[in-house]
């Protein structure tokens, strides 16, 4: 490996400032544990003086084993006109009892005069006094030069004076911050070169992504000599977010040869990215580089044919290095290679006799032209493959079904009001026997599901573990109004695995029925095949 870099994670503090995120103390402890398992050297736990939740986090963190990782407490410089020893923010950082403290101070003269409403000289004293106070308490002190790049652009001499004050007071690292996220690469380079010439202290970089340059600017900062890189998992953070460590770490380590994390730890990156998004109650971005589920997905038939011959033909790296994996999806863009790959993935290659792969690819193109979408409904694709076999016997056959919706008005003496209910009948053939069942529900699909299960449970009682987890409807041609084609995706689970089926029709009930019956047939067919 090459030069060692320090990775500093601020997901629990800066990342938590993203709109819509609110971590509990338990959430923060769980995420910190995952970051430790990933091998992150510095984990910022929160703003020590800002709220009771962060205070509790630091109290509980004191009694835990963090391995080789260090928890950092964050705070600001002393207030103007007071002493460091009296300042509540600095006292809270000391009380957090972390080995590392990160202290933020102003490097933009506009903020000093117009926001803090103090003098430029007093701000420098605030920085120096705060750093010296924390060093006297035996802490490793990182100084965040807030708005350094905006400050350097407006008043370079003063911006440099602020980091000189921190260096003279003994700061262990000086972190140059693009707090507004608007610095351009050439501006960033010039400001870092000036900082390196001004202070002997090792530099770090902390960039926001308001121009979508946070990762690129962080890489550039490292190439300009910064040895510490700050950012957040998944790029979470205020406004447009912070530098995304899930992209930044692989870029630095796998592309440029820097030593960020042990290679065996780097393989946990995808797992950690998804864990943090789930804990934050945010849907993981499937198209996120390196760790997204689509990051190494191949859809076009030409691409898949090439990847089957040589994986790197349409991949920039081996996905397992970051704990991800290659995927091939089936769609109207598929060729024979997509079908072959998916069959291999499902362990059903033996079913592809003769020209079946090409025939299935053509059939999928025709079905997707009518509204189906198989890349998100792999269970429906597997059923297509199984049904193509002459010896396939479906676990049940649908003979007919009907469904109705009824609205009833209630008057006195019953409570006034109205209700809408649905009733359905389903006729099936199972094992040569015909069954007619009725069902009720709060909607037509729910009523059909109830009747279908009544009929099937008589023959397949194990089907009781299967339940619908999500139901999505998409209008495919809005201009057609109520006559539009619709696509229905149904996600199901048996408590151990999940699968998705699809239906498409101009009739939403028919589309739903197709997806619903496919879901149950898929589960039963797989069990019969075992």
Instruction: Break the chain into its structural domains and give their ranges.
Output: 6-279, 297-369, 374-393+465-530, 396-459
* Structure-model confidence comparison of residues 368 and 43, the more confident one: 43
Q: For residue range 341-370, what is the model confidence (pLDDT) as tens digits?
A: 766 776 777 777 778 877 777 777 777 777
Sign of dihedral through CA atoms 309, 384, 330, 273?
negative
**Which residues, other chains included, contact 446 with Cβ-Cβ below 8 Å and sequence gap of 6+?**
422
Sign of dihedral through CA atoms 520, 522, 525, 529?
negative
Same topology, domains 6-279 and 396-459? Answer is no
Pairing of strands 486-493, 100-106: unpaired
Rounded to an integer, what distance in angstroms lies between the CA atom of residue 375 and that of residue 62? 47
Q: For residue range 274-322, what is the model confidence (pLDDT) as tens digits?
A: 999 989 988 889 899 999 988 887 665 565 556 566 667 677 899 999 9
Q: Which of 507, 503, 521 is nearest to 403 (CA)?
A: 507
Q: For residue range 477-511, what is the model confidence (pLDDT) as tens digits?
A: 766 666 678 889 999 999 989 999 999 888 889 99
Q: Which of 191, 260, 254 is nearest to 231 (CA)?
A: 260
Query: What pLDDT does 50 receive?
Result: 77
The string over 461-474, giving b where at least 16 C-beta atoms fall within 10 Å of a residue's C-beta and e elsewhere, is eebeebebeebeee
Strand (E) or helix (H) holding 408: strand 397-410
Which band of pLDDT confidence, cut at 50, 70 and 90, is reported for residue 244?
very high
* Structure-model confidence comparison of residues 140 and 392, the more confident one: 140
Residue 239 pLDDT greater than 70, yes or no: yes
Query: What pLDDT does 184 receive?
Result: 97
Question: For 267-420, where are the alpha helices, taking DSSP H only?
Answer: 269-279, 301-309, 336-346, 356-369, 378-387
CATH number of the 6-279 domain: 3.20.20.70
- What are the tokens at 392? 């396939």
- Three-state DSSP class for residue 37: helix
- Three-state DSSP class for residue 298: strand
Average pLDDT, the chain: 89
CATH number of the 396-459 domain: 3.30.160
Residue 178: how many CA atoms within 13 Å on its side-chain side? 32
Rounded to an integer, what distance in angstroms lies between the CA atom of residue 98 and that of residue 64? 12
Residue 124 pLDDT greater than 90, yes or no: yes
Query: What pLDDT does 409 receive?
Result: 66
Whole-model pTM: value is: 0.75
At the topology level, CATH places domain 374-393+465-530 in: Double Stranded RNA Binding Domain (3.30.160)
């Amino acid at each position: 490996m090459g030069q060692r870099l320090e990775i500093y994670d601020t997901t629990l503090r800066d990342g938590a400032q993203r709109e819509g995120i609110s971590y509990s103390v338990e959430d923060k402890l769980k995420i910190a544990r995952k970051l430790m398992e990933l091998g992150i050297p510095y984990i910022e736990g929160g703003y020590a003086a800002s709220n009771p939740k962060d205070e509790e986090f630091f109290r509980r963190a004191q009694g835990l084993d963090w391995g080789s990782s260090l928890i950092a407490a964050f705070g600001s410089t002393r207030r103007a006109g007071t002493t460091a020893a009296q300042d509540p923010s600095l006292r809270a950082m000391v009380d957090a009892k972390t080995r590392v403290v990160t202290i933020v101070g102003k490097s933009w003269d506009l903020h000093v005069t117009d926001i803090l409403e103090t003098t430029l000289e007093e701000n420098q004293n605030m920085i120096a006094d705060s750093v010296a106070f924390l060093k006297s308490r035996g802490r490793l002190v990182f100084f965040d030069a807030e708005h350094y790049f905006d400050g350097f652009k407006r008043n370079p001499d003063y911006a440099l004076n602020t980091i000189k004050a921190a260096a003279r007071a003994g700061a262990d690292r000086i972190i140059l911050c693009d707090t507004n996220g608007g610095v351009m690469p050439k501006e960033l380079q010039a400001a870092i070169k000036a900082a390196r010439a001004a202070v002997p202290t090792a530099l770090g970089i902390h960039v926001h992504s308001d121009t979508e340059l946070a990762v690129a600017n962080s890489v550039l900062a490292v190439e300009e000599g910064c040895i510490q890189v700050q950012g957040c998992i998944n790029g979470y953070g205020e406004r447009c977010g912070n530098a995304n460590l899930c992209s930044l770490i692989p870029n630095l380590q796998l592309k440029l040869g820097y030593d960020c994390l042990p290679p065996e730890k780097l393989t946990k990156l995808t797992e950690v990215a998804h864990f943090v998004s789930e804990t934050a109650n945010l849907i993981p971005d499937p198209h996120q580089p390196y760790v997204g589920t689509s990051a190494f997905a191949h859809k076009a038939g030409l691409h898949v044919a090439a990847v089957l011959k040589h994986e790197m033909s349409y991949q920039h790296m081996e996905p397992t290095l970051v704990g991800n994996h290659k995927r091939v999806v089936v769609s109207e863009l598929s060729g024979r290679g997509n079908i072959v790959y998916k069959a291999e993935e499902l362990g059903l290659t033996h079913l592809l006799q003769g020209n079946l792969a090409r025939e299935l690819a053509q059939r999928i193109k025709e079905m997707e032209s009518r509204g189906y979408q198989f890349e998100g409904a792999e269970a429906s694709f597997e059923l297509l493959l199984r049904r193509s076999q002459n010896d396939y016997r479906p676990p049940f056959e649908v003979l007919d079904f009907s469904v109705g919706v009824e609205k009833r008005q209630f008057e006195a003496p019953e409570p006034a009001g109205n209700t809408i209910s649905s009733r359905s009948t389903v006729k099936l053939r199972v094992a040569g026997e015909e069954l007619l069942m009725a069902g009720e529900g709060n909607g037509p699909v729910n009523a059909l599901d109830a009747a279908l299960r009544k009929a099937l449970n008589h023959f397949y009682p194990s089907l009781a573990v299967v339940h619908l987890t999500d139901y999505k409807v998409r209008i495919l041609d809005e201009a057609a109004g109520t006559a539009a084609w619709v696509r229905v995706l149904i996600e199901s689970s048996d408590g151990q695995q999940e699968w998705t089926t699809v239906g498409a029709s101009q009739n939403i009930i028919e589309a739903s029925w197709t997806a619903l019956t496919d879901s149950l047939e898929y589960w039963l067919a797989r069990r019969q095949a075992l």
